[in-house]
């Protein structure tokens, strides 16, 4: 939440015992997640240390709070968490300390000052005069419009804020909609997923602070996170290409880590960086854990039958140029220093980053 550090990330890192080297590793991981060359790592580091960080208003509307859980999931501070922490989160009705009039005053003051980033979690119910989600006597729809009026940009996290999510599943009794259905005159960055991956939020914030808005696809999703097909980065892809499929839960193929396509995996039609950044500090992701991808970063994912295979066009069946590395024990890609770097880089950037970190730390000690 809001803090006394007045935008100074360096002081906060020192206070929390995070070394300069770990900070640079984090910057390398961010550059990796953002698909930037290693030469950009110093620029990311400098920007994070010096740029003035905007206040944030976090709206939690019609949802299950899973995206806030995703934000809070770690139990020890990482650099990624501190980057988010050092941002002045002036309002987050779920986890902020003030309540009632104090909370509403903080929101009103931040709106009046302008220039803030808005994070929206949850759908916006619009049916029956928008009565299904009200906070402080105002509807979610009115609150969103009020907050959006003075914001610099909106980051819509999770499937619900993206298109309505599971509250919008037919017959959609509350008239749930996504942010982009309501707000049309502000930059909106969509980070869908159920829940979204907090590492992508960190990377988006880093990109925004360093370079401005990221390049996005026609659904408003950043290309660095949603530009590649899960199927092409999946550690089980080699089994798909060899026709080695799991055909029943717990069968021999399942025990051997074969492809989950026949069990309904939606990886062939899903675009997100789950196989490379993974979850829980880079520990695992659903396919590594033995369940097919449900394509939760796509539109209307809740309406797809979870265990039915999706059709794949012949031209989309061509094997990728390279397969992801698989660790002994079947854990697949592993982020470099995942315990320290909440947001993981890909292997290639990890290597490039390590070289750059070595050079940076060397130069700084000279």
Contacts to ligand SF4 by CB under 6 A: 230-231, 234, 236-237, 240, 259-261, 265, 267-268, 287, 292-293
- Residue 315 CA to residue 362 CA, distance in Å, equals 48
Comparing CB distances to ligand SF4, the nearer of 267 and 337 is 267
Closest distance to ligand SF4 from the beta carbon of 169 (Å) = 23
Comparing CB distances to ligand SF4, the nearer of 53 and 236 is 236
Comparing CB distances to ligand SF4, the nearer of 177 and 236 is 236
Evaluate whether 70 touches 195 at the Cβ level (below 8 Å).
yes
b or e along 90-126 (b: 16 or more beta carbons within 10 Å of the residue's beta carbon)?
Answer: bbbbeebeeeeeebbebbeebbeeeebbbbbbbbbbb
Q: Are strands 176-177 and 124-125 parallel, antiparallel or unpaired?
A: antiparallel
- Residue 8 CA to residue 185 CA, distance in Å, equals 32
Comparing CB distances to ligand SF4, the nearer of 317 and 358 is 317
Which residues are bridge partners to 222 per DSSP?
Answer: 216
Closest distance to ligand SF4 from the beta carbon of 256 (Å) = 13
Comparing CB distances to ligand SF4, the nearer of 125 and 193 is 193
- Residue 236 CA to residue 320 CA, distance in Å, equals 12
- Residue 22 CA to residue 12 CA, distance in Å, equals 13
Closest distance to ligand SF4 from the beta carbon of 266 (Å) = 7
Nearest residue to ligand SF4 on Cβ basis: 267
Closest distance to ligand SF4 from the beta carbon of 349 (Å) = 22
Closest distance to ligand SF4 from the beta carbon of 258 (Å) = 8
Q: What are the DSSP calls for 162-187, one per residue?
A: HH-TGGGSTT-TT-EE-HHHH--SS-
- Residue 232 CA to residue 75 CA, distance in Å, equals 32
Closest distance to ligand SF4 from the beta carbon of 324 (Å) = 10
Comparing CB distances to ligand SF4, the nearer of 112 and 289 is 289
Alpha helices in 19-98 (DSSP H): 20-33, 41-50, 66-72, 79-86
Structure tokens at 318: 């061509």
Which residues are bridge partners to 284 per DSSP?
Answer: 279
Comparing CB distances to ligand SF4, the nearer of 58 and 261 is 261
Closest distance to ligand SF4 from the beta carbon of 289 (Å) = 11
Closest distance to ligand SF4 from the beta carbon of 69 (Å) = 25
Comparing CB distances to ligand SF4, the nearer of 134 and 326 is 326
Q: Which residues contact 219 (CB under 8 A, 6 or more apart)?
A: 162, 190, 192, 226, 299
């Amino acid at each position: 939440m809001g803090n006394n550090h007045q935008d100074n990330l360096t002081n906060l890192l020192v206070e929390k015992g995070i070394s300069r080297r770990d900070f640079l590793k984090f910057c390398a991981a961010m550059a990796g997640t953002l698909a930037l060359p290693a030469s950009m790592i110093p620029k990311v580091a400098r920007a994070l240390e010096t740029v003035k960080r905007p206040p944030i208003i976090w709206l939690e509307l019609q949802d299950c709070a899973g995206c806030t859980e995703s934000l809070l999931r770690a139990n020890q501070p990482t650099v990624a968490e501190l980057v988010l922490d050092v941002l002045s989160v002036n309002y987050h009705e779920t986890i902020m300390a003030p309540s009632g009039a104090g909370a509403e005053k903080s929101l009103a003051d931040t709106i009046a000052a302008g220039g803030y980033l808005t994070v929206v979690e949850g759908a916006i119910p619009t049916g029956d005069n928008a009565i299904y989600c009200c906070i402080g006597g105002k509807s979610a729809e009115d609150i969103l419009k009020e907050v959006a009026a003075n914001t610099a940009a909106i980051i819509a996290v999770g499937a619900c804020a993206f298109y309505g999510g599971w509250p919008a599943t037919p017959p959609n009794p509350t008239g749930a909609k996504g942010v982009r259905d309501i707000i049309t005159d502000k930059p909106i960055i969509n980070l869908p997923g159920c829940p979204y991956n907090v590492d992508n939020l960190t990377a988006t914030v880093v990109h925004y602070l360093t370079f401005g808005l990221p390049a996005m696809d026609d659904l408003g999703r950043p290309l660095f996170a949603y530009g590649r097909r899960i199927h092409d980065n999946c550690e089980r892809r080699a089994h798909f290409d060899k026709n080695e499929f799991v055909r029943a839960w717990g069968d021999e193929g399942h025990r051997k880590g074969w492809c989950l396509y026949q069990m309904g995996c939606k990886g062939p039609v899903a675009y997100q960086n789950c196989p490379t950044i993974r979850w829980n500090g880079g520990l695992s992701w659903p396919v590594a854990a033995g369940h097919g991808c449900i394509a939760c970063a796509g539109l209307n994912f809740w309406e797809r039958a979870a265990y039915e295979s999706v059709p794949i066009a012949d031209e989309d069946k061509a094997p990728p140029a390279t397969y992801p590395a698989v660790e002994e024990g079947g854990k697949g890609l592993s982020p470099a220093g995942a315990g320290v770097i909440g947001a993981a880089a890909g292997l290639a950037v990890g290597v490039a980053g390590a070289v750059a970190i070595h050079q940076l730390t060397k130069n700084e000690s000279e």
